[in-house]
A and B are shown apart, each in its own frame.
Chain A
């Protein structure tokens, strides 16, 4: 090949590359603009707000550094709410994931009426959280709620599930699990259907029991899904608070209040924007750190196809 011949395609190649780069940026621009307007700017603004004091008519807001954060750590309500949220996450995340997995394994096996089963499991996901909360409000109502009626059959005393500090948070957890498990199940179901049937047959011929096959083949192959679901569940444990507005409004005496609800309250009920902003920043930091940790820990042991 002569040098002139070989140079020609090279320049064409460079041109082509530049053209592609420009195309790429053009395609990214709308998304970037949206993200900048609705995600990056608010985040920065939130951090900014959290560093200023709350402005009133008499003393306008001024830069106070980390004082808002310091105030938060002294706030007993914030501490209670943080503990509530940790408990809430610690209960809802593992239970909903395990439940989702079990339901998916079941709904994926060769059983009669399995499409009915799938639909039934998925229904809670389709329901808006507000509607679900109203449904559960009816379940929980003392006296004539479904739970009490069932309890009464066995002679159990009436319980005001949402009205007492000992049970309110758990009652809220139950609704979340009920709502989320079906959603996560869909992801597991989709992942299960990508596992070829002949892997099961190969394992069967080798003498593996169903349980061995599930443990040594299915679960490892579901690991990427689990990671995805885990991160989602974690974010939801902070984000998903719609039902609080219907069920308990954080009460009684803050026993079922979660962070986002408290942030909302601070910002829009008590008009304490700096404190709400500080909490938001803290939540973002914690969420980011935990997600990064999960990815680093699990990524190494996860098999992607």
Chain B
């Protein structure tokens, strides 16, 4: 998809490693204005490093970073025009909510009326009214999270970086705050770059997902793309709950590996089956039964059948893998991907910049 306008945030082959290990390596990325982009990946894959590079808290050893058309690679964090929500929230423990939120405005010498106005707006938006005089220690985790959010809102910067802002919250709160963040981003037209290791969070929140692995981008695209068209088995295993089932091509008379979403699997009589698997376990879930299946040349096979299905472990079922739902990974998909990532252009796997379509273009494709 061609990028119609210049990206708002752009990374060109950015590398930052520690003694040749960890960190990020040759990451390129283009984020359009107003997009909500998730950086997703397993622990230690370099998500935080990437975010800190963007924020200017780390300096890249190679590559360039552009924000709003300016090369900011050598600029200080304050000059980059961004706000950041830390995983730990980084609230000043000795200042109350009000002082925490207004810290930046005071530093920038905003006038008193300006500050009052911004504070009122931010507390209203984040539902913090009445808590202005409390110290962070006197707030719940969710409230602290909101203060951190309000601080980012008040800064008035067009770009907001968030590093796993929900990881300290319980599951229920995480859901509501997630929605709040999304609403806030829409209302303010913010460009948000959001780090998470939770694929469900990334899928539900973002316009685009950047999936990282060992310091490189593995695949970049809309959540649907990553879900239905994973570029590598790694993506297939990471995205979705349950993730894709992976079958050795040999079992199906094909080369390479075949990925398929389990909801696309069909049960057929064994005579017509592409694959015959053994039932490992059956979970009755009320509306449906989930069969966990075993096959020597497949991983993650499962079958969802409506209603209650009486199949004991050990019995066999015939499976049909519909052609249009099969995702093919090249013979040495993983090895090829690894080699590919070894080359400088990690994000140019398809011969073009891993540019994210702008939200408007993407809207049309829906």
Please report A residues at the B interface, Cβ cutoff 8 Å: 196, 198-199, 201-208, 212, 216-217, 220-221, 223, 303, 305
Contacts and interface: CB of A to CB of B under 8 A. Distances in A.
Contacts of A199: 90, 92
B88 A196 contact: yes
Contacts of A221: 93-94
19 contacts: A196-B88, A198-B90, A201-B55, A201-B57, A201-B90, A202-B92, A203-B107, A204-B76, A204-B77, A205-B57, A205-B78, A206-B78, A208-B104, A208-B107, A217-B94, A220-B94, A223-B94, A303-B94, A305-B137
A199 B76 CA distance: 16
Interface in B53-70: 55-57
A220 B88 CA distance: 20
B103 A206 contact: yes
B155 interface: yes
Contact of B86 (A202, A220, A305): A202
Contacts of B104: 206-208
B61 to A, nearest CB: 18
Contacts of B57: 201, 204-205
A46 to B, nearest CB: 41
Given A201-B57, A205-B55, A221-B94, 14 more contacts: A198-B86, A199-B90, A199-B92, A201-B55, A202-B86, A204-B57, A204-B76, A205-B83, A206-B151, A206-B155, A207-B108, A208-B78, A217-B94, A221-B93
Interface in B80-121: 82-84, 86, 88, 90, 92-94, 103-104, 107-108
Nearest to A208: B107
Nearest to A204: B77
B88 A198 contact: yes
A196 B94 contact: no
Residue with the highest number of chain B CB atoms closer than 10 Å, among A206, A208, A212, A216: A206
B93 A202 contact: no
A207 B76 CA distance: 9
A208 B109 CA distance: 11
B90 A202 contact: yes
Nearest to A223: B94
Contacts, number: 59
Given A196-B90, A202-B84, A305-B93, A212 B77 contact: no
Contacts of A207: 78, 104, 107-108
B108 A201 contact: no
Nearest to B82: A205
Closest 5 CB pairs of A and B: A206-B104, A303-B94, A207-B78, A202-B90, A198-B90
A168 B155 CA distance: 57
B93 A201 contact: no
Contacts of A303: 93-94, 135
Nearest to B161: A205
Contacts of B88: 196, 198
Interface string B301-328: 0000000000000000000000000000
A303 B57 CA distance: 28
Nearest to B105: A206
A182 to B, nearest CB: 27
Contacts of A305: 93, 137
A43 B104 CA distance: 54
A205 B55 CA distance: 8
A206 B90 contact: no
Contacts of A206: 78, 103-104, 107-108, 151, 155
B74 to A, nearest CB: 15
A204 B88 CA distance: 16
Contacts of B83: 205
Contacts of A198: 86, 88, 90
Given A199-B92, A303-B93, A205 B84 contact: yes
Nearest to B148: A202
A202 B148 CA distance: 10
B165 to A, nearest CB: 13
Nearest to B85: A202
Contacts of B56: 205
Nearest to B106: A216
A221 B108 CA distance: 22
Contacts of A223: 94
Interface in B199-248: none
A206 B155 CA distance: 8
Interface string B30-69: 0000000000000000000000000111000000000000
Nearest to B107: A208
A220 B108 CA distance: 20
B86 A201 contact: yes
Contact of B92 (A201, A205, A212, A217): A217
Residue with the highest number of chain B CB atoms closer than 10 Å, among A202, A203, A221, A223: A202
B150 to A, nearest CB: 13
B137 A204 contact: no
A128 B78 CA distance: 48
A214 to B, nearest CB: 13
B47 to A, nearest CB: 16
A196 B84 CA distance: 16
Contacts of B78: 204-208
Interface string B122-154: 000000000000010100000000000001000
Contacts of A217: 92, 94
Interface string B157-201: 000000000000000000000000000000000000000000000
A276 to B, nearest CB: 45
A212 B56 CA distance: 19
Nearest to A213: B107
A199 B86 CA distance: 10
A105 B77 CA distance: 22
A186 B82 CA distance: 37
A305 B83 CA distance: 26
